[in-house]
Structure 1
Amino acid sequence: MRANRPWIDATVEDAIKRARSRLGQGPGLSRCETCDAEIPQARRRAVPGVRLCVDCQEAEDRAQGAAAGYNRRGSKDSQLR
């Protein structure tokens, strides 16, 4: 079981890198760049560099999640197929 740990660590590190790359920086927009809806002040304070309204962000997250796939290098399921 100890032998699988490097693969698990690599999977976690990959996920952290992906999440950090999506974090915004700097001032956010007051209107959504996709649909032009107003972005509430509370969201702009909570999410640095926000560029999308909640609805558009959720749609983008779903699209990225479907395309991301899984890192199955150390998975038992991948060994069974």
Structure 2
Amino acid sequence: MANGWAGDGAVQEQIDSTVEDGIRRARSQLREGEGLMHCEECGEAIPAARRAAVKGVRLCLRCQQEQDRAEARFSGYNRRGSKDSQLR
């Protein structure tokens, strides 16, 4: 069946590629090793419970929330290239 310019399975390839990119990005943000006693951004003490719960923690909860909000603004790359996504 003719799909125009896209080959057979092109949509699934785009989905797979988007999922793989998301997994790669998430894995790159994982920390390892010993966490810090004080936040590297503001210098506030990081509670022992947070250090025990989050491996390799480097930020206090407040700074981590700020960083998470900033990263949430990054919406990723829309591989479908719809006009709506290009207008953002």
What TM-score bracket applies, with the shorter chain setting the length?
0.7 to 0.9
How many positions carry a matched residue from both structures? 78
* Higher percent of residues as helix: 1
1:71 aligns with 2:53: no
> 8 Å contact 1:8–1:74 — kept in the other structure?
no
**Alignment TM-score, normalising by the size of structure 2:** 0.75
Quote the sequence identity (%). 49
* CA RMSD in angstroms, aligned pairs only: 2.1
Shift of 1:70: 2.6
Alignment correspondent of 1:24: 31
Amino acid across the alignment from 2:14: W
CA offset digits 1:27-53 (Å, max 9, x no partner): 000111111111111111111111001
Q: Structure with the greater relative contact order (CA < 8 A, sep ≥ 6): 1 or 2? A: 1
**Alignment TM-score, normalising by the size of structure 1:** 0.81
Structure showing greater radius of gyration is 2
Moved over 2 A (4+): 68-71
In structure 1, the gaps of 5 or more residues are none
Alignment correspondent of 2:18: 11
